């Protein structure tokens, strides 16, 4: 298991290397990450994940993505735009620009968020979005490992993504790839996918690779002769726009090939985990997919007024998640809030917009934190206990390591509420 394996690994890392070497490796790898535009705090080391476990998690992620698509296709097949917006309580502007073919064809671009426990791995979220973040951490963590003389096997998720896009460009006859950001998103420190740009330019020197936002996207690219030659890699979600997605819709309407539209946001809605846990829908799935849900997905269900009192009475057993928010927003740990406070929040938002997921206890690791230069020199390192969430990327059948996010302050673990690193496969 993740914690048990890394306790032994981290003990070797911090006992076999000097404080000077550890500090230098972290400083250089952190600087590299900042140079890539990724500005969130980092964990003090990289991690390990045995190859068998990673392969199992990747296979489980693929089965979860497949089950998710099947349930989405079934539920949405008979809904109009207005009905879809009402059922999932999403803006009609979002519901009106969904590519339904995503549910039946094409390579999945996703990242599963996974809680490592002492007895296994629990899948808590599925991010079905081409621009899901964190891949830069593989590059900085690899540098950290190399500076300490440690192995770091596995390819960058950006290399896998570059291969996927080059295949698409060749198949569709496209000669320009635009990495589309927004002014709002670029200020938040999630990076600009620079490794993807670098891989594409090295692997396909004749492909015009451009990074831009809604203010620098060229006007002529919105006209059909130019648009039909463009593949757009979305870095931004609907929430990262200031115009209710209007510019994204204009790009899509122009005839450009867009990596995904708002089916991605719909797919990240928390309601899908409730539906995946509904046994009445399991006839849609293969036996292996049902077993993956049973083994890896904590029981999840929609909150409703008639069960609110009972759920609040046992709130310590649940994590509460709000509608289609993501990135750690709209997540409340039941044990950390009073029943009156939770009731007030649920009623204000609409009780039916919340889901309840069975709380699982993450396995923890103690990591060193600096306690002053003199303490470091004397060999005394203060340690703090961290909770973790892993992120396994699914770009078709390609596999690599896993994003690691850890927090010593909150059980809601993500980049904005904790720190980040990478786990390399043995």
Tens digit of each residue's pLDDT (9 = 90 or more) over 15-43: 999 999 999 999 999 999 999 888 888 99
Burial of 325 (0-12, 13-18, 19+ CB in 10 A): middle
Distances (CA, A) of 334 to 75, 76, 338, 410, 418: 29, 31, 8, 13, 20
Average pLDDT over residues 395-413: 83
Give the span between the Cα atoms of 156 and 390, in whole angstroms.
16
Tens digit of each residue's pLDDT (9 = 90 or more) over 41-63: 899 999 999 989 999 999 999 89
Place of tokens 């917006």: 85
89 φ/ψ sector (left φ>0, alpha ψ -120 to 50, else beta)? left
> 372 phi and psi, to 5 degrees?
100, 150
Tens digit of each residue's pLDDT (9 = 90 or more) over 205-229: 999 999 999 999 999 999 989 999 9
Give the span between the Cα atoms of 247 and 333, in whole angstroms.
36
Give the span between the Cα atoms of 403 and 392, in whole angstroms.
7
What pLDDT band is residue 371 in, cutting at 50, 70 and 90? Answer: low
- Residue 370: the pLDDT is 62
Tens digit of each residue's pLDDT (9 = 90 or more) over 144-186: 999 999 999 888 999 999 999 999 999 999 999 999 999 988 8
- Residue 375: the pLDDT is 40
Residue 232 tokens, joined: 């757009």
């Amino acid at each position: 298991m993740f914690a048990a394996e890394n306790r032994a690994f981290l003990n070797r890392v911090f006992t076999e290397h000097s404080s000077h070497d550890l500090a230098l490796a972290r400083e250089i790898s952190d600087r590299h990450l900042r140079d890539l535009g990724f500005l969130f705090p980092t964990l003090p080391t990289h991690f390990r994940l045995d190859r068998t476990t990673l392969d199992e998690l990747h296979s489980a992620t693929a089965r979860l993505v497949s089950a998710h698509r099947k349930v989405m296709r079934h539920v949405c097949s008979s809904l109009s735009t207005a009905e879809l917006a009402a059922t999932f309580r999403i803006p009609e502007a979002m519901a009106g620009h969904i590519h339904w073919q995503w549910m039946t064809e094409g390579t999945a671009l996703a990242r599963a968020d996974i809680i490592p426990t002492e007895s296994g791995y629990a899948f808590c979220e599925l991010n079905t979005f081409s621009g899901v973040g964190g891949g830069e951490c593989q590059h900085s963590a690899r540098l950290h490992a190399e500076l300490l003389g440690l192995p770091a096997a596995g390819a960058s998720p950006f290399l896998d993504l570059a291969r996927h896009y080059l295949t698409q460009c060749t198949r569709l006859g496209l000669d320009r790839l635009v990495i589309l950001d927004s002014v709002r998103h670029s200020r938040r420190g999630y990076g600009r996918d620079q490794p993807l740009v670098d891989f594409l330019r090295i692997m396909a020197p004749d492909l015009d690779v451009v990074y831009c936002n809604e203010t620098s996207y060229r006007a002529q690219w919105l006209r059909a002769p130019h648009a039909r030659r463009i593949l757009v890699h979305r870095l931004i979600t609907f929430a990262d726009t200031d115009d209710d997605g209007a510019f994204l819709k204009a790009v899509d309407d122009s005839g450009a090939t867009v990596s995904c539209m708002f089916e991605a946001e719909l797919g990240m809605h928390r309601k899908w985990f409730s539906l995946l846990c509904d046994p009445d829908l399991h006839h849609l799935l293969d036996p292996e997919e049902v077993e993956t849900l049973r083994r890896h997905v904590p029981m999840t269900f929609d909150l409703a007024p008639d069960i609110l009192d009972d759920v609040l009475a046992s709130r310590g057993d649940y994590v509460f998640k709000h509608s289609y928010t993501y990135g750690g927003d709209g997540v409340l740990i039941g044990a950390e809030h009073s029943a009156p406070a939770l009731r007030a929040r649920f009623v204000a938002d609409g009780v039916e917009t919340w889901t309840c997921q069975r709380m699982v206890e993450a396995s923890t690791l103690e990591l060193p934190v600096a306690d002053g230069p003199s303490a470091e020199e004397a060999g005394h390192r203060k340690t703090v206990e961290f909770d973790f969430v892993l992120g396994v990327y699914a770009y078709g059948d390609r596999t690599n390591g896993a994003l690691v996010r850890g927090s010593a302050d909150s059980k809601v673990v993500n980049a904005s509420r904790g720190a980040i690193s990478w786990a390399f496969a043995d």
